[in-house]
C-alpha cells in the first residue's frame, strides 16, 4: 500500500542521521515523530505505512519527547517495527501494538573458544546435529511437555527455572537482560488458551525469521570492547533468534481484544484501532503488563532451553570434554519496561515500548542479526542512546520485501543452492519458508548498522559471517 499521508516535504533533517516530522504536521500529534536514517533510506519508507504509523504513535496519551523509528523500520501492527515510545509512568497508556505479538522476541549469542579453522571440517555434521536437537517449524513441539505447575514456574522465573532443572549453568542468567526474568510476572493473568498453546513449545525455534546460526567473527572494529566481550577474529559463535512462540502471540491477541472494548470507558480515541491502549494504572493495563512479563519470561526460558540443545549438539560433535559454550548476552527487542530518562530537563520514569528495537545501555552488548546470507553484528550501547533514543537502537536489517514477493522472486531450492555455493550450510524444514527469508527480502544490514553507529546510539564491535543456518 503506497504511503501518501506523510509527504516527503514533511520530513525535516535535524542532524546527518536524524529526521523529524514536527508535531505541527497533524493536529492530534502530542510530540514530534523522529527517524534515524540516511538520505538513501528515506525513499523506501514511502512504500508502506511506516511513517503514517509513526505519526499515529505520537497521539498516544502520555507519550514523552518524540515517537522514534530506527533505520530498520518498516510497517507493523499499530506501531511500525523498529518503533520506540517512552510513555509517562504510571499515568500514560500501555499498548500491546507497541510490543508486538512475539513478546520478547530477542537474540542470544553464545561464544566458543574454537576457531573457524578448527570447526570448518565439522560444519555439515554440526548443522545436522543442531537441526536434530532443536525442534523448528510451525507447530513443532519440544522435548519438554510442561504440566500446569511447571509452566507457571517458567512464567514466574524465566530462564532460572530451566537452570534449576539442569538445563544450564548458574552463571547463564548473569549474561541476560534483566537476568532472564521480569519480577512483575503473574501467570494468573495469562489465559488458559495461551498456556495450552505453549505447554509443549519450550526449546523450539518456530518459523519465519527465527533461526539458530553458527557464525565466524569476521572483523573486529573496537579492540578494547571486543576484548571485554571475549571476542576475537576467526572465533566461532552461535546466534539464537526466537521469542515466546504461541504464548506471546496469544497474550497479545487476548489483550488487544480486551483493550479495544475498554478504551471508550477511559475516553481514549486513537487514529488506528491497532494502537489499542488503556492507562497503565488501570486494571486492564496492569493485567496486560503482568501477562506480558510472564510471556517475556517464557521467551528467556525458551532461549535457555535452546542453549542447552546447542550445547548437546556441540558435545555430540566435539566430545563431552569440550568447554561449554558461554553466553555473551541475551537481549529482547519486543518488550515494554519501566526506565528513567531525562525529558525536557526533568528525570522521569517512563514505560518504554520497544517493538523491533534493542535496548542499548552504555557498554551493553547489542546483538543485530542479519538475514541468512548476510552479516550479523555485535554492537555496544552508547551513553548518547540514553539522550537520543530512550536507550534504544536497531534490531536487525528490517524487511524490504513481503514474504509473498520474496517467494515469487526465488524458489527455496534455488536459494538453498545459492547459499550452499557461498559456503553456508543450511538446514530448513520448509523450502517455501526458506524463500520467504531470502537475504534480498531485507534491507542492507551494513547500512542500518553504519547508520546507528554514525548517529552515536551504538558502536560497532564485531561483524559475524554465517557458516551454518538452522531454520524452521
Query: What cell was used for 53?
Result: 504509523
Grid-cell match 501494538, residue found: 97
Grid-cell match 498516544, residue found: 60
CA–CA distance, 131 with 216 (Å, rounded to integer): 19
CA atoms within 13 A on the CB side of 368: 40
Query: Is 141 among the domain residues?
Result: yes
Query: What cell was used for 160?
Result: 532460572
Bridge partners, residue 214, by sequence: 238, 468
* Active site annotation includes 333: no
Give the residue from 295, 219, 212 showing the smallest Cα distance to 251. Answer: 295
Bridge partners, residue 200, by sequence: none
Q: Could you list the residue range(s) of the whole structural domain that residue 39 is in?
A: 8-400+442-471
Query: Is 105 among the domain residues?
Result: yes
Residue 71 confidence (pLDDT): 97
Query: Is 377 among the domain residues?
Result: yes
Cis omega (within 30 of 0) on the bond before 312? no
- The distance from CA 433 to its chain's CA centroid, rounded to whole angstroms, is 19
At residue 413, the 3 state secondary structure works out as: helix
Strands (E), 189-243: 211-220, 235-242
CA–CA distance, 56 with 318 (Å, rounded to integer): 52
Q: What does the DSSP 8-state code read for residue 49?
A: S
Residue 2 confidence (pLDDT): 39
Counting Cβ atoms within 10 Å, is residue 10 exposed (0-12), middle (13-18) or buried (19+)? middle
For 449-469, the pLDDT digits (tens) are 999 999 999 999 999 999 999
Q: What is the CATH number of the domain that holds 205?
A: 3.90.1860.10
At residue 99, the 3 state secondary structure works out as: coil
Query: Is 2 among the domain residues?
Result: no
Query: Is 1 among the domain residues?
Result: no
CA–CA distance, 249 with 194 (Å, rounded to integer): 8
Answer yes or no: are the C-beta atoms of 254 and 194 closer than 8 Å. yes
Answer yes or no: are the C-beta atoms of 6 and 33 closer than 8 Å. no
Answer yes or no: are the C-beta atoms of 367 and 358 closer than 8 Å. yes
Query: Is 413 among the domain residues?
Result: no
Q: Considering the candidates 210, 249, 395, 453, report the single residue annotated as catalytic.
A: 395
Give the residue from 145, 151, 146, 127 showing the smallest Cα distance to 214. Answer: 127
Query: Is 411 among the domain residues?
Result: no
Give the residue from 212, 175, 112, 215 showing the smallest Cα distance to 329. Answer: 175
Name the CA dihedral angle for 378, 412, 468, 447, rounded to a multiple of 10 degrees. Answer: -20
Residue 139 confidence (pLDDT): 67
Query: What cell was used for 359?
Result: 535496548
Answer yes or no: are the C-beta atoms of 398 and 356 closer than 8 Å. yes
At residue 114, the 3 state secondary structure works out as: strand
Give the residue from 335, 461, 453 showing the smallest Cα distance to 71. Answer: 453
**Alpha helices per DSSP H over 231-344:** 245-262, 283-318
The H or E element containing residue 241 is strand 235-242
Grid-cell match 502471540, residue found: 249
What counts of helices (H) and strands (E) characterise the chain?
Answer: 15, 19
Answer yes or no: are the C-beta atoms of 448 and 72 closer than 8 Å. yes
pTM beyond cutoff 0.85: yes
Separation of first and last alpha carbons in the chain: 29
- Which DSSP string do the residues of 349-363 spell out, in sequence order? EEEEEEES-EE--TT
CA–CA distance, 304 with 301 (Å, rounded to integer): 5
Q: What does the DSSP 8-state code read for residue 44?
A: G
For 335-393, the pLDDT digits (tens) are 999 999 999 999 999 999 999 999 999 999 999 999 888 999 999 999 999 999 999 99
pLDDT < 50 positions in the chain: 1-4
Domain count, the chain: 1
Name the CA dihedral angle for 132, 135, 137, 140, rounded to a multiple of 10 degrees. Answer: 130
Query: Is 45 among the domain residues?
Result: yes
Amino acid at each position: 500500500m503506497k504511503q501518501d499521508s506523510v509527504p516527503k516535504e514533511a520530513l525535516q533533517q535535524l542532524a546527518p542521521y536524524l529526521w523529524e516530522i514536527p508535531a505541527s504536521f497533524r493536529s492530534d500529534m502530542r510530540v514530534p515523530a523522529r527517524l534515524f536514517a540516511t538520505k538513501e533510506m528515506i525513499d523506501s519508507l514511502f512504500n508502506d505505512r511506516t511513517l503514517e504509523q509513526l505519526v499515529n504513535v505520537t497521539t498516544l496519551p502520555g507519550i514523552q519527547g518524540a515517537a522514534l523509528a530506527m533505520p530498520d523500520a518498516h510497517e507493523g501492527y499499530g506501531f511500525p517495527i523498529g518503533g520506540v515510545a517512552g510513555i509517562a509512568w504510571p499515568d500514560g497508556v500501555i499498548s500491546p501494538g507497541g510490543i508486538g505479538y512475539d513478546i520478547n522476541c530477542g537474540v542470544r549469542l553464545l561464544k566458543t573458544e574454537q576457531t573457524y579453522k578448527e570447526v570448518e571440517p565439522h560444519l555439515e555434521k554440526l548443522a545436522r546435529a543442531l537441526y536434530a536437537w532443536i525442534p523448528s517449524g510451525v507447530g513443532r513441539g519440544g522435548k519438554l511437555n510442561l504440566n500446569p505447575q511447571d509452566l507457571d514456574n517458567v512464567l514466574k522465573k524465566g530462564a532460572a527455572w530451566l537452570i534449576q532443572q539442569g538445563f544450564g549453568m548458574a552463571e547463564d542468567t548473569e549474561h541476560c537482560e534483566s537476568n532472564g526474568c521480569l519480577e512483575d510476572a503473574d501467570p494468573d493473568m495469562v489465559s488458559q488458551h495461551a498456556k495450552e498453546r505453549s505447554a509443549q513449545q519450550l526449546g523450539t525455534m518456530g518459523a519465519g525469521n527465527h533461526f539458530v546460526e553458527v557464525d565466524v567473527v569476521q572483523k573486529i572494529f573496537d579492540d578494547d570492547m571486543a576484548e571485554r566481550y571475549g571476542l576475537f577474529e576467526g572465533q566461532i559463535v552461535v546466534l539464537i533468534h526466537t521469542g515466546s512462540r504461541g504464548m506471546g502471540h496469544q497474550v497479545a491477541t487476548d489483550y488487544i481484544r480486551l483493550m479495544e472494548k475498554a478504551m471508550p470507558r477511559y475516553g481514549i480515541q486513537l487514529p488506528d484501532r491497532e494502537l489499542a491502549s488503556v492507562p497503565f494504572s488501570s486494571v486492564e493495563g496492569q493485567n496486560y503488563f503482568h501477562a506480558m512479563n510472564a510471556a517475556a519470561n517464557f521467551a528467556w526460558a525458551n532461549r535457555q532451553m535452546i542453549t542447552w540443545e546447542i550445547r548437546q549438539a556441540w558435545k555430540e560433535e566435539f566430545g563431552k570434554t569440550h568447554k561449554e559454550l558461554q553466553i555473551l548476552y541475551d537481549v529482547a527487542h519486543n518488550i515494554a519496561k519501566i526506565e528513567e530518562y531525562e525529558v525536557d530537563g526533568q528525570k522521569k520514569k517512563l514505560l518504554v515500548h520497544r517493538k523491533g528495537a534493542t535496548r542499548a545501555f552504555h557498554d551493553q552488548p547489542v546483538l543485530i542479526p542479519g538475514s541468512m546470507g548476510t552479516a550479523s553484528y555485535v554492537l555496544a550501547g552508547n551513553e548518547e542512546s540514553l539522550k537520543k533514543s530512550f536507550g534504544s537502537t536497531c534490531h536487525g536489517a528490517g524487511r524490504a520485501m513481503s514474504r509473498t514477493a520474496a517467494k515469487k522472486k526465488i524458489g527455496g531450492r534455488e536459494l538453498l543452492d545459492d547459499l550452499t555455493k557461498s559456503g553456508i550450510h543450511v538446514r530448513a524444514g520448509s523450502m517455501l519458508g526458506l524463500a520467504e527469508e531470502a537475504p534480498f527480502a531485507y534491507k542492507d544490514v551494513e547500512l542500518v548498522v553504519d547508520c546507528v553507529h554514525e548517529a552515536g546510539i551504538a558502536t560497532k564491535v564485531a561483524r559475524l559471517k554465517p557458516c551454518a543456518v538452522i531454520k524452521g
